[in-house]
Amino acid sequence: MNLKNIKSLFLTLLLAIPLMVACQNEQKEKAAFIKENIAFATAQTDKMLQSLGEPTGKNYPRTTKNNGDLVVTGMYDWTPGFFPGSLWFLYELTGDAKWKDVAEKWTATLEPLKTFTGHHDLGFMMYCSYGNADRLFPNAEYKKILTESANSLSSRFSEKTNTIKSWNYRKAWDDSTEMFYPVIIDNMMNLEMLFYASKITGDKKYYDIAVKHSDSTLKNHFREDFSTYHVVNYDTISGKVLNQGTSQGFSDNSTWARGQAWAIYGFTMVYRETKDAKYLDAAIKAADLYLKNLPDDLVPLWDFNVGEAGYTPGWKSYAAKYQEKLRDASAAAIVCSALFELAGYADNRNYTDYAVKMLHSLASPAYRAALGTNADFLLMHSVGSLPHKSEIDKPLVYADYYFLEALIRYKNSK
């Protein structure tokens, strides 16, 4: 090695050392952040388990009453899969068999849902519970239950509309229209179980339904700027779109933050399963629109257009009276988790940086509850459905689920 080479090696080392030190510090901070959040989540969930007692099929935690008391639901609501799913995540984060035992118990009570066809949320109900169970402990019985659940969900698919029907026929909640075949953007999330069913059975029919539903959603739920409509109502005979609007957002033409979150997460997942670039494009455009509308702490308003000129809530909507600009931590948690994945498919867009900042924001005292408060939920300040005067500025079980999933994705990220 000549003098010139030695000099250049020396210079390279000189430059690299501070970078290596910075990188090591960052890794240490990351490990400490994850450890502290796991310690909190396990302690808080221990308290939740004590307050719930044994699973009965009727006591899945959901939110709180106005006086702060815990609200639980039966299994036929859309949210019973999230608590068992969170217990699986705690097992994944700790490796402690105690969490596996409780996760198994809380998952097992949902088995009767495998034949349920009353609404579209079977993906949330069964894939967050049994899907996580089978991912961590692959098992023929779990696969049988998930396949039967996928059959039940598929029974709601129509070749006319090329979508899975979200809700059964109903009058719009403010009586403005009849909803013959309502499909909501949330429905994208239920497709993950269908992709999985095709993988474990070798039968492509579930995959085909998921792709057709995604294509119809791509066509009918997005506006030009890639903001989303919450509800699209189809004609059952012609299969045509009758109207596009909202049920849980501020107004028909507004962007409901959690709806946008479901779109980002959903299309990221569909891209993972299909590798079709049009879904990645949709996920990126929906994510960029979402990021453009965020306040400094990266937790969105429950609807991006609350109180803005040109956005009018329906006459029966509580949003007409209540225009306080509340945040929705549940949307933030869903997007945070989604961005960790989307970053892997779009590495030129700083999505990991955004996701890490969102996770820190959610884990700060502004959104993460103090131990033993918040009826033992992890996160505060979500909005279930403001127009229906329901779950306003409350904890929500699915905010906690996606927060824990984001924590796992952060832990696994490079």
CB of 160 to ligand GLY, least distance (A): 24
Give the residue nearest to ligand GLY (CB).
186
Residue 278: helix, strand or coil by DSSP? Answer: helix
Q: Binding residue for ligand GLY (CB under 6 A) from 165, 258, 327, 368?
A: 258
- Give the number of residues in contact with ligand GLY, rule: CB under 6 A: 4
Active site residue 121: yes
For 245, the enclosing helix (H) or strand (E) is: strand 241-245
CB of 63 to ligand GLY, least distance (A): 11
81 within 8 A of 110, measured Cβ to Cβ: yes
Q: Is 391 in the site for ligand GLY (CB under 6 A)?
A: no
CB of 119 to ligand GLY, least distance (A): 10
Q: Is 255 in the site for ligand GLY (CB under 6 A)?
A: no
Nearer to ligand GLY, 78 or 157 (CB): 78
- C-alpha 322/C-alpha 389 separation (Å) is 9
Q: Is 248 in the site for ligand GLY (CB under 6 A)?
A: yes
Helix-helix angle 329-343:397-412, to 10 degrees: 30
Nearer to ligand GLY, 84 or 123 (CB): 123
Active site residue 101: no
- C-alpha 56/C-alpha 229 separation (Å) is 37
180 exposure class (CB count in 10 Å sphere: 0-12, 13-18, 19+): middle
For the residues of 156-223, what is the DSSP string, one character each? TEETTTTEE-SS-SEE-TTSSSEESEEEEGGGGGGHHHHHHHHHHH--THHHHHHHHHHHHHHHHTB-
Nearer to ligand GLY, 91 or 181 (CB): 181
CB of 77 to ligand GLY, least distance (A): 10
Nearer to ligand GLY, 190 or 216 (CB): 190
Binding flags for ligand GLY, 65-84, as an x/- string (CB under 6 A): -------------x------
Binding flags for ligand GLY, 24-63, as an x/- string (CB under 6 A): ----------------------------------------
Nearer to ligand GLY, 186 or 192 (CB): 186
Q: Which residues, numbered 174-193, are part of the site for ligand GLY (CB under 6 A)?
A: 186
For the residues of 5-50, what is the DSSP string, one character each? HHHHHHHHHHHHHHHHHHHHHHHHHHHHHHHHHHHHHHHHHHHHHH
CB of 348 to ligand GLY, least distance (A): 30
Kindly list the distances between the CA atom of residue 76 and the CA atoms of 79, 118, 320, 371, in Å, as whole numbers in the listed order. Answer: 8, 8, 30, 30
Nearer to ligand GLY, 100 or 119 (CB): 119
Give me the catalytic one of 186, 252, 328, 400. Answer: 186
Which stretches of the chain bind ligand GLY, using CB under 6 A? Answer: 78, 186, 248, 258
Which active-site residues does the annotation give? 121, 186
